[in-house]
Amino acid sequence: MKRIILTGALGQIGTELTVKLREIYGEDNVLATDIKEPVDSPLEGKPFETLDVTNYEEMERIAREFKADTIMHLAALLSATCEKNPHLAWEINMGGLVNALEVARNLNLQFFTPSSIGSFGPSTPKDQTPQTTIQRPVTMYGVNKVSGELLCDYYYEKFGVDTRGVRFPGLISHVREPGGGTTDYAVEIYFEAVKNGKYTSFIDKGTFMDMMYMDDAIQAIIDLMEADADKLEDRNAFNVSKLSFDPEILAESIRRHYPDFELSYDVDPVRQGIAESWPNSIDSSEAKRQWGFDAKFDIDKMTDTMIEAIKKKI
């Protein structure tokens, strides 16, 4: 990777990934794009283009003029948002992905897009879910993700596009506040702990989901993209995860800082239903074996980092 363009750069992953890539590859070699301008963002005042990912001609023009050799396609609607408007979700998530893959094919670019544990469903094995297993999601978000995984494999096999991807769990970060995901309670809980000393969770106790601290997620993307292609037996949809917990376990970690922290529940049936269709934990052994995936943040290290950063932020 030398000249990198990102779509959806103002999203949860995109903001921090753009900052990290610029540290490594140089500010002028990383072009951020999104449908809106960066305001009160770390990307404000830096190389940026507005882009609607459903507009193929504009996407190709930007990539061609930038002389990109890599495209990282991050623009997508998240799980709960997709359920509210499934037609729009298909239009953006799949239409945008096809456009980005076509740009990569026509301009001979290396390609990355993230999948998700949302690509699994109720019939998927719940514990230590293997990388290759049954995938029958029951949400539009999950349908998009499974379709995207297959599409990326197709573009690799049919056209030789160097497609790569991971299945992310819930990602936890203090830089961007939540934006419509089922795992967002695990971000909200930290902000509310610092601000108010209490939190009402929309996910029920005893509901385990995989999570990862954002720094580990960003490093995983870079490590996969820099990996030797000859060592990749798989191309896309690598399982990556570090943590699996429910709201009660996370609250106990927070109480090391705030002993009186109160956790209550007002369960959202839509997001609870989505969470229950996902695995409790996934097996990341293939990512470790094929390209050295190695997450660093355990739950207490993540909690310490989140609380310290949020205190400074607010």
Catalytic, out of 25, 141, 190, 265: 141
Integer Cα distance of 293 and 291 in angstroms: 6
Integer Cα distance of 15 and 38 in angstroms: 10
CB-side exposure of 261: number of CA atoms within 13 Å? Answer: 25
Question: Which residue is it, tokens 């009160």?
Answer: 40
What's the full length of the chain, in residues?
Answer: 314
- Clarify whether 141 is annotated catalytic: yes
Integer Cα distance of 38 and 30 in angstroms: 15
Q: Three-state secondary structure along the chain?
A: CCCEEEECCCCHHHHHHHHHHHHHHCHHHEEEEECCCCCCCCCCCCCEEECCCCCHHHHHHHHHHHCCCEEEECCCCCHHHHHHCHHHHHHHHHHHHHHHHHHHHHHCCEEECCEEHHHCCCCCCCCCECCCCCCCCCCHHHHHHHHHHHHHHHHHHHHCCCEECEEECEEECCCCCCCCCHHHHHHHHHHHHHHHCEEEECCCCCCCEEEEEHHHHHHHHHHHHHCCHHHCCCCCCEECCCEEECHHHHHHHHCCCCCCCEEEECCCHHHHHHHHHCCCCECCHHHHHHHCCCCCCCHHHHHHHHHHHHHHHC
- Cβ(26)–Cβ(84) below 8 Å: no
Catalytic site positions: 141
